[in-house]
Amino acid sequence: MEQITIGQIGLAVTFIVGLIAGITALTKNIKKWLSLAFKEDFDGLNKKIDKVQKRVDEVDLAHTKNYLVGFLSDLDQGREIDDIELERFWEQFQHYETIGGNSYIHRKVEQLKTEGKL
């Protein structure tokens, strides 16, 4: 069996360290290249997702308004409301306030509270 010299060990360690450094640099550059290559695609996708989210928020607000207006109208016209319907109304009203609703629905709620209907 041959004898291993310190020089050979140093050379092997240098080779391994160089190999690891090379792989690390290569991985970093590949990630950077892929990021740049897909950036344009991802930017377009993000814009589409933002548009969809905005539309979902608009539909949510409109649907919540429609429910609240219908409920308040029924209540104002004297329709009997049970406890579960009333609880659901307050859940939707709280949601309406959370998503930025205001104006005529708030005025109607205050009016019906004052009249003792709500």
d(CA 41, CA 63): 33
Residue 37: CB atoms within 10 A of its CB come to: 9
Per-residue burial over 1-21, b = 16 or more CB atoms within 10 Å of its CB, e = otherwise: eeeeeeeeeeeeeeeeeeeee
Number of other residues whose CB lies within 10 A of the CB of residue 93 = 20
Per-residue pLDDT, 68: 97
d(CA 25, CA 103): 59
Instruction: Give the span between the Cα atoms of 110 and 112, in whole angstroms.
Output: 6
Using one digit for the tens of pLDDT, what is the confidence trace for 65-87? 999 999 999 999 989 999 999 99
For residues 25 and 101, give the distance between their C-alpha atoms in angstroms, rounded to a whole number. 53
pLDDT digits (tens, 9 = 90+) for 32-47: 988 888 888 788 889 9
**Domains of the chain, residue spans:** 6-114
- The confidence score (pLDDT) of residue 6 equals 85
